[in-house]
Structure 1
Amino acid sequence: MTGEIHTPDISHRVAEKVAAANGTDPLNLDPLYNRIDPDCLNSLFQDETSEGYVEFLMAGCNVTVQADGTVEVAQSETHEKGAQTGSSGDTMKAPDSLE
């Protein structure tokens, strides 16, 4: 044992927070990969110097993942729980160095 503290991947924290916002278990949600690639999400902001954010809709919630790893979840005002939309509603702000 190395004494390191394990921090859940961003994708796991997203699932947990969206489930909490919907009052359900994360296993009852549609898989995250139906909305965004979890591996890409986990690796996107691994570097502590990363900037930007990713926003997407999941299970009736607006999800924002900040470059510092902060995950914000809020019930969507424009979509009912579980509602399907014709577009993904996903957005991403690239780091300033890439713009």
Structure 2
Amino acid sequence: MSAYPTSPVERTARDEPITEAIVWAVAEAKDVDPLDIDVPLYDSIDPDALERILDSDSFEGRIGFSVAGCDVVVYDDRRVVVSEAPDTGTEPSAPPVPGE
């Protein structure tokens, strides 16, 4: 991983579970096969809780977390934006969002 993150990967979970969209976006950001991601998603966030939050009619906004060396932001419209976290030795921040 370089000191500078690659361009963010954006994916929207329309006909797939949000967790599947996250895994595929992380794999694309890291340029690896989804089966080769070295950290399980559930080590970073509770997938069932995330799905319940997104299915809630009252949720508006975004949820951010890190997994497998990537910063992940999930929006209320089920859009996922993933970028490799910069290798700075500090806590990760939310990736830049295309169009914002």
Structures share fold, TM-score greater than 0.5: yes
Displacement after TM superposition at 1:68 (Å): 1.1
Partner of 1:57: 66
* Distance across 1 between alignment mates of 2:72 and 2:87: 14
Task: Tell me the percent identity.
Answer: 34
Structure of greater Rg: 1
Aligned position for 1:96: none
Letter in 2 for 1:12: E
- Structure 1 outlier segments of 4+, above 4 Å: none
Normalising by the residue count of structure 1, what TM-score does the alignment of the two structures yield?
A: 0.68
Q: Relative contact order: is structure 1 or structure 2 higher (C-alpha 8 Å, sep ≥ 6)?
A: 2
Kept after mapping to 1: 8 A contact 2:27/2:34: yes
Aligned letter for 1:56?
F
1:13-42 per-residue CA deviation (whole Å, 9 max, x = no partner) reads 000000111111111112100111111111
Q: Which residue of 2 aligns with 1:19?
A: 27
Root-mean-square deviation (Å):
2.6
- Distance in 2 (CA, whole Å) between partners of 1:79 and 1:59 is 15
Letter of the 1:35 counterpart: S
Structure 1: 5+ residue stretches without partners: 1-5, 92-99
Residue 77 (structure 1) shift: 1.6
Structure 2 vs 1, CA of residues 79 and 67 (structure 1 numbering), >3 Å: closer, same or farther? Answer: farther
Instruction: Decide which of 34, 39, 43 is 1:34's aligned counterpart.
Output: 43
Q: Which amino acid aligns with 2:64?
A: E
Count, aligned residues: 80
